[in-house]
Amino acid sequence: MKQPARGIRAVRKVTPSDPGPVSGNELLGFPLDRRQLTAQVKHALTEDGAFNDITTIATVLSDRRARAALVARSPGVIAGVPFALTAFRQLDSKVVIRVDADDGARATAGSSVMFISGHARAMLSAERVALNYLQRLSGIASLTAQYVDAVRGTRARILDTRKTTPGMRALEKYAVRAGGGMNHRLDLSEAILIKDNHLASVGGDVALAVQRARKLAPEGTRIEIECDSEKQVQAALDSGADIVLLDNMSVQQLERCVAMAAGRALTEASGGISLQTVRDIAESGVDWISIGALTHSAPALDLALDFESLA
């Protein structure tokens, strides 16, 4: 499971002769290489009809130049800058962009994320695709940061889940890292998590499920099992599970289960967790708190492209 890395790079300028790294903050581990990034953005621009923007073609002269600031209308954490850069550059290879907030940076309301100078037509046609990526990923990063801030000072780490948009999982999990969270397993092949329906298929026998998983799992793979009662937790610990997922338990139950684990296994709280309850859950002593809402319910961060002048 990937650990988040922090650290914000200084303001930089991106020009045609110096395109810069794929990701503004390489420490976060941007999941696409330049070829993949270019192809994905081109697909999005094509979907939006950006190469045949009849409104812009009809109203804006082909030689008209503009300057614009991409600004945060509300506070949050930025993620997705590489997509915005690529969108503007695909429609204007000579565009000049100053990045004021790299991925992982905290923006205040009214602050600049980037400043763009180039052909007006290209900027207008690329605007929506650039903002769609930035607003979605920044929304996830921002919500994650709220949870991370809420548990600061406790031992608990905030994790995502597999409740992601199909085709966007790697990017949405990247946004979680940008917000200071930690990634749970990327997919079903990466780690073993025995859930309630798996247990049902073996008659609820926790020991048998763990035994079978241990026998077939690649060496070094940690075995996690979902428990909804203290009895199941005890059985999981006795069976040698590495991680115990404590599903929809009260804070009092969590405290007792953490005491039962006593360092023999990591403990993870999950189910029905909100910003109002996450601090109390963290103070129960659990190691991890996994929250599906980070990716399936994060509101988009309010960002906008404001034109400053036309020449």
180-204 pLDDT tens trace: 999 999 999 999 999 999 999 999 9
193 belongs to a structural domain:
yes
What residues are labeled active site? Answer: 128, 163, 195, 226, 247
Q: Which residue has the higher pLDDT, 3 or 271?
A: 271
In a shared domain, residues 224 and 92: no
Residue 291 is part of which domain span? 149-296
4 belongs to a structural domain:
no
CATH number (domain holding residue 84): 3.90.1170.20
Q: Which contacts of 6-11 are long-range, i.e. CB under 8 A and separated by 24 or more positions?
A: 6/104, 6/180, 7/104, 8/102, 8/104, 8/105, 9/102, 11/98, 11/99, 11/100
Q: Which two three-digit tokens encode residue 174?
A: 């990247």
In a shared domain, residues 175 and 119: no
In a shared domain, residues 290 and 153: yes
111 belongs to a structural domain:
yes
In a shared domain, residues 206 and 276: yes
In a shared domain, residues 113 and 172: no
Determine what percent of the chain is predicted with pLDDT higher than 70. Answer: 91
3 belongs to a structural domain:
no
CATH number (domain holding residue 204): 3.20.20.70
| pTM: predicted TM-score of the whole model, two decimal places | 0.92
In a shared domain, residues 217 and 252: yes
- 28-77 pLDDT, tens digit per residue, is 999 999 999 999 999 999 999 999 999 999 999 999 999 999 999 999 99
In a shared domain, residues 153 and 139: no
Q: Which residue has the higher pLDDT, 8 or 269?
A: 269
In a shared domain, residues 198 and 234: yes
29 belongs to a structural domain:
yes
pLDDT score recorded for residue 2:
46
- 208-249 pLDDT, tens digit per residue, is 999 999 999 888 899 999 999 999 999 999 999 999 999 999
In a shared domain, residues 171 and 124: no
Q: Which two three-digit tokens encode residue 211?
A: 């035994």
90 belongs to a structural domain:
yes
Q: What's the domain count of the chain?
A: 2
In a shared domain, residues 157 and 141: no
292 belongs to a structural domain:
yes
Mean pLDDT of 136-151: 98
In a shared domain, residues 153 and 268: yes
* Chain CA centroid to CA 136, Å: 9
Largest pairwise CA distance in the chain: 73
- The Cα 180–Cα 28 span in angstroms is 10
Count how many Cα atoms sit within 13 Å of the Cα of residue 78 in the half-sphere of its side chain.
Answer: 32
In a shared domain, residues 207 and 77: no
6 belongs to a structural domain:
no
